[in-house]
Structures are given as C-alpha cells and as structure tokens.
Structure 1
C-alpha cells in the first residue's frame, strides 16, 4: 500500500478508503492532457465544459479494446521503483549589523528589555545551566543590557577617541571630548573632573558621555521626560546629568520638550487681557493742565556751588496733563511737603491752577507750611 502523507482529516479518510477498495497495482499514470479532473482543477468555462468530449466520455483509450497497448504504454508505478529521497539540511551564516536592532524600538525601556532577552537567549545557547530560568528579567540583566547598548553607541560615535585610549595615547585636541577630561572605565567613556573627593555617587561624579543627535540619546531624553511627568527643559537636563553627560544637552532638552505632543497641547498660551475703559478725564475736552497727574522720579545726583562742588541728591517732580499728555518738570531738593508745595506753586504760576485737587494735594494742603 502506498504511504499516506500527512493531510487534513477529510482528505486522509477518503484516501484511506480508496486504498482499501483498490490495490496499488490497479493504478496507472495518466497525462495531464487526458485527465478530465485536471480540467476542473485548472478552471474552465461552463460552455466549453458542456461541449467537451473528454469530460463526458473520458480519454479515448478507456473505450479502446486493445488493453495490451494500454498496459504497455502506462506501466504501474511501484513503491520500490521510486528513488530514495533523503532530507537535505543547509546551514547559512549571515553576518548582520547588530546595531540595526536600535531602529526597531521607539522607547528606551522596550529597547533595554529587548536586548536583555536577546542576551539571555545567547547565553542559553552557550550554557543552559548558567541562564536564569525565571520568566522575568532581573535588574542585573537590565543593567548589563544598558551597558551593552551604551558601549555600542560610543563605539560608533567616538571611534578615534576609543582607539587612542586603547593605545594609551592622548586624544586629538580637536576632539569634542577634549574639554571634558574624559577617561575609560569598563568600556565606557566617562567625564572626568575634580569631584573625586566629593559626596555624590560615582554616577554623578563621572557621568557617561552621550553623543549628540544619536537615536539612543533621544530615547533616553524622551524616557526621562515622561518619567518626570513632562517636565521642562531645565529639570529634564538636570535629571539626565545625574547619570549621563549628553553633548549639547541644552539643545536636546529643549528639542525634546518642544517635540512632545502632550506638552504642546497643555502649554498655556498668554492671553492679552482686555483693558478697562479710559477714565472720563482722559477722553473729554478740557484746557491743557486743568486736569494734571503728579509723579516723582529719582533720585539724581546734582552739584552745587562753584567751589567744592558738593554732590547732592535731588528728585524730579512730573506734572502730566491728562488730556494732552504734556509734561511739566520741576526739580525738588527732597521729598518733604514744603518742597512739593514750592514745585506746585511754580507749576501753577506758568500753567494755571488745576480744576481738582487729588488726595495727595488735599493732605498736603492741610499740613502747616513752615516759612
């Protein structure tokens, strides 16, 4: 009996039933041109099918009386005549750029977790006994994944500096990192300085250098911006510098905040308040200086006398007309009532007496004037 290939239950049951009612020696090969079933499987119009002799009568050799010629032309296919086919296995080695994994993530946390799962899988292939069997990532695995990502980022952004450090040479004076006094530790470029004896942690004293406009740098800025509930540029940069030192960090902080859609929608816009109606004295016709406001400016330094020239303080009394905005200036020696009354008398001598006396003038008029 012919072997049954793995197929659906419906097809397998009917193939088994056919093989039970027939013997394999009864089966013959038939070409595509003489097979009526092939017409339906390939598709045919109903008009052509109704006029097809092959469909209604079958191939011509079925009605032929010469069965001997048929037996010779179509020999049975025995299983032992089939050539043996062995499964073929192919191994293909592809050298891929591992940095392409950065392009598949748009969030810093997801990138760290993805790299951590990938590293766990690689360790599992190397040694199954040393791999954690928990369903969750540990903090140590996430830190190793972050360290691996930052090493790859710096290797691509600062190749000349890393080569110089490995060769125990000084970096180029034109390098972007020259002013940061950088040094390498555990494969990472850190910012040096004079804070080795200070209290902050090692991460705060020696932050990790991040390149400008790299995708990983932007992901870190966006992540911290969301963690701090969409903070402003200054707070964002301050939080970033607790662990990292991004080149041109101020620009990146402002770029992150300005590109954040929730921050743009929630940012309040300044509305110019509506001004109150102008007072009656400002809009009605009146004689110049009849309605006048008073204000003081100063102090200013003045000189008195030809000899000695002692510097003294003086103030400026401003009389402003409400209707014409004309300004009359008088100089007073001090801020006493007597000095102001003298300035007011000089003003009235030239401009005339105002119609109304304000609160300040009423109080001054009630005070005794010393001769």
Structure 2
C-alpha cells in the first residue's frame, strides 16, 4: 500500500488495517467490487416508486451494468416499459396486469445479488499470453438484438474462456423483417469487437464472429448480387471492420446471444450460457471456413433487380414553372439564368430590361404550350378555328411573338398595356401565380379589386373570375381575416329531451343576475346587497324553477340545489355550460362542480353532471332561451316603482310570478279552431290544472273525471303527455338551420380560434390535436393547441368558434 500515493487511495482503503480488518466492498463508477474475493457483485435496491411509466423508467435506469453482465435480465424490463409507453402517459397508473409483470421482473433482478463475476479474465496476465482469441456471437428476435463477446486463452492445463462484454438492446417495432434484424445483430457484433479492441489495447491472434442466420451470412459472403440501400450499407459497414473468413455459422442452441434476445427469468441462468459461453469454446475444435451462398436469391426482396427502362418524354419547360410558389421567385430565377448567359456572351444590359425580358419569356412559353395551334394560324395569316378560346378577343402576335388582344380600343388614348393586354390561359400555372401576385399587391382585397389590378398591369386572363375566386378561397391570410367559422349539421336531440318522464328528471342549469337589493334602512342611509338567481329548466317539459342565492359560493349553490330537489324531487341528470364553471351573468363565478363540496354532494345524491364545450352557448339553447324570456318578463315587472329599493322579499315574489308566467306559456302552436281551445303548457303538468274547457282523449271516458280526484289528476297527466307527443315533439323534428352535412375537422388541421377580447387580426392560430365526434359521426367540438405568451396551451372549443386555414 505504501507504493501508492494517498490521492490514489479511496476513503475506505486509507483507514483500512490489512492485518486486522476485513476487506470491504468498494464501489467505482456504479460497480461493486468485493475486495476479499476479487469479484464483481451486484447491489440491487429498488427505491419505492409509483406504478407509473415515470416510476418504472426510474427503477429501470437505477441498474448500472456497463459491461452487460445482466443484459438478458434487464431486457425483459425494457420490453415491459416499451409496452407501457405505448399505452400510458408519464403519470398514469398502469394496468394491474402490467404491475404483476413488473413486480415479477423486479424479483428476478433482485436475485442478481447472488451473482458474482471474477474481476480477472484469466489466471495469468494478458500481457504474458502469446495466444488470445476473441469470439463474438450475435442474434436477433422480434423483441431484442444481442451481441456478446468472450476471450479464449489456451494454456498448458487447458482452455480458459472469459466473458468480456455484452450488449442487448430493443429491436425496432415496425418496418423490419427478421433478416434485417439479424443483419443489425451482425453489425452490433462488429461494434462490440471494436469496443473491446479499443479498451483492452490487446492484439488478438484470432477474431471470429458467429451468427445462426444463413441469410445474413449469405449477405456478407455475397460477391455477385446488388442489394437495396438498407442491406448494402450495413454489409459495407460490417466488411469495413471484418472480412468474410472471420464469419462462422453457429447453431441456435449453442449461441449464447440467443439468451439475450429471449431474456432470462432468473439470475442463476446467467451462469449456464451468457457468462460462461458456449461449450465448444472449451475444446480444441477448429472451424472450417465455409462459403455461404444466398438463400433463394430470386425471391429475396432485399436483392435489387437489374432492369433498364428508357422513357422518352416531350420537353415541356412550363412544367418546371410549377417548382416555384410565387411570380417574383419564378421571374427572378429566369433573370439569373439570362444574366449568366449574357455574361458569357459579354452582352449585359440593365437589370430592369432583363427582368422584363424574363417575364415575356415565361408568358411566351406558356402561350406556346396552350395556344400553339392558334399562334401558328396567326403567324401564317390563317383563320382561327371556330372553337378557339381566343376567337372573340381578335388576337394578334406582337413583335416579341406574344399573343395580345386586338379588341376595339385601338383608337383610344389608353396606355398600350390597357388597349392590347397580353392573353394568359386560365388553366396555366402562370395564371395562378399572376393572380396570387396581384392579390397580394392589392392587400388581399376581393375579386373585383384583384381583377382590376391584373388588367391595369396589362394581363388578360381568360375566365379570370372563377380563377380569382378559387385563389382567394384558398388564401390563408384571407381565410384568417374574412373566413367563415366552421359549421356542421344540427345534431340529433339527446334522449333526455325527447323521452317522457317525471318533470325535472333531466335539468339544464344556468345562473343570471345580480340585482342590488336593500337589506336594511337606517337614518344615515341604507345597506345594500346583491342577489343572484339560479334557473333550473326541465329539458322534457320546458318548465322552469328559479332559486335566489345570496352569493355565488359553493355553500349557497348546494343550498339552492337542496331546495330545488326538495320541491321538485330527485334529479338524474344536470346539464350546464362551460366545463368546470358554468357561467351566467359574470365571468368570475366560484361555483366548481368538478371538485370540492359540490362534487361530493352530487356523488352522494347520485346525480350526473354533463358539460357543454366552453364558449358554446348555442349548445345550451334550451335554457338560454328561458333566461332570455325571464329577463324580458322581469324587466317589465321592474319597470315601475317595484324596481326601486328592491328587497329580498319583493325580489323573491317577482321571481315566483315570473316562474308562473313562463310555465304558463304555450309550448305548441295555438290553434285557431274554436273546437280545440286546449293549449299545452308546462303548468298543466306541474299544477294538474287547466283553465277553460278541453277535449278529452278518445280512450278516456269523460265520466271518469268526476268519480275521484286522483283519476282527474291521472287524466290530466295522460292528456298532457299525449298532446306532448302529438304536437310538441313533432315540432322538434325539422332543422331550421345547419341543415347540410359539412366536411369534418381532422387532427392536424390548422385553425384560427375566435377571441372576443381581441381584434380578428390578433386571433391565435392553433393545431387541432383531438376531435370529438358525436353519435352520428360528425365533429362539433375539437381540442386545439395554441401558443399563448410563449407557452403551449390546449383549449376545447366548438367548431362554431374555429376557422379552418389549412387542411
């Protein structure tokens, strides 16, 4: 120990008394070294982690095994983690089946504490050995790719074999056949050999590679066939480090790398093949170099088929124009070419002239492609065909060979480009570029202004109106500034709207207010407070119930719910706006029905609460309409002296009167037939009373009404539901708007999100991450990801607040 400096000694060694103390277990770079036995040992202590994807990843990475001693055990955990990654997010609880598999794997890894690996490769030093061999084995399966290396040392007493380095990694999931995976394993074997040679600094007398795939050995030994790039690149990489004579065939039963691809369930199994190596290495058996021909070369998809094909196509310069996205970029490219040609000829003119010549060149080539026959007739002074698209324009060829309009304005004082504009075919790509160019120059204005800009610059596009409209319709900036919001056919009514049942079994909830009331009068003035109203709308009968609350707190809301349920009976379903907070008159309400005391009360009462998408008030029209009617009636009642100095008692009375008025309204059309004076209203079912005479059901005897009071109530209830089915329900059949089916929004679409607090030009642009199809398969709301103040945010919005920019 005195031969080493104190800086080179670890803390345990500095305080160690070799004559009295036991040698400790020393850890270096994560490896545990038992100094007393000179063996590497494993120390496995999994920290308590949750059964989530994040927890499993943390436990898997806590195993430090740089030399691959436990590769066949660790690969099982990697396979399980890959399956978990495909199904769960980072902090989602995993399925019990995965938990069971994960715990079983942890138990198998914990048995590594019983495994010891000698630190010394052999009983003698490598520098004193004249013959040291390196043997590398490789294999692959659908789950893993493996390679393992061993050193072999012949001595006077026998042959010693020592584990050197092993590598096991997951195989790709898709797009790889078994021959390709076996080829990846062969490449991994070459990499393992390079790592061993680099770190041991030892010159091996013999280096051999083993594979149990005859197809891969045929690839490596091939001298005649050509492969596709995937196989060719990897074979070239393998032969760059090794040669064909080093590759040998080994049976799968004798291949230790096969254990890495299948995985082991017990640490004790490592001794039987992975750490020990194959049995034939311990004997003096010479392998004979063999030639491995290709297996079924005519059927192998990796072998490139030699075929020559010559295709002669007519040269069309205008097809190259489609590689440019704007008129300016196309003209600039042609201008650069013309400058280069003129420099070679030493005939360079000013840039403006060259650019104008480039524009005329592009137009001339376009006209030759679409108007070749017409230009031939004009050039040879012949009449144009009767079906010529330019016949009515009286075309002629200018000195530059450009076809222009003759027209009837030759005697006018207009500029030349307006009297004789250049003719552009509407089906050409150049016409589209010109429309885009002048549409942008006119600040993305409409069709008439864009068409005027095109004409004023001396171009006449045949059929320009349809082309301009099509370009404007696809213009992203125009869609953002003036595009229409998405719409979809009106959805079918939910079952709770069209199924008869007790009143207020399915209820829509919303709030409105507040109103200022006087709570106390004193000599110095009066104390004021605010009151809000919660409206409960029966989704079936369209009846309403209003409860006043003193504050928008959870306790006040629960009390209002309890009063409502005590008066109207149990409720099975609530519907409201907005998601976590349903909003009435204000934006800062504190009622949250998704957690806290409100959620607990709903769970105890066995009530289901369903939310509409945020910012989709039209989805709650059934109760929004009732709030509108209530406000109109209430405004009328508060117009007089009652509206001043309101008290809680007066406001409660007014709300009761408003409820009675709303519930007495007809929910079907009032008939003009004097024989049918009956009017269907929610109050008829709630109060079991109607005014005036009414016609009885055909299957009910009128005398039954006067027999018993309960029979009269039953008859009125049956009469209501019969009229409800016959008249009211049929009125809901037709769709008054949103009648046609539109193209659904899809994941990946680029949209603009409406923002009521910002100008339209400042609305955010987002990416559709998820869509929510209704029962009919049509999408009416979507989840959109946007960037707000440099942060990624996700919003759920109805399609009525989204503008599609790009499909």
Of Structure 1 and Structure 2, the greater strand share is in 2
Q: What's the TM-score once normalised by structure 1's chain length?
A: 0.47
| Bigger CA radius of gyration | 1
Of Structure 1 and Structure 2, the greater helix share is in 1
Q: What's the TM-score once normalised by structure 2's chain length?
A: 0.22
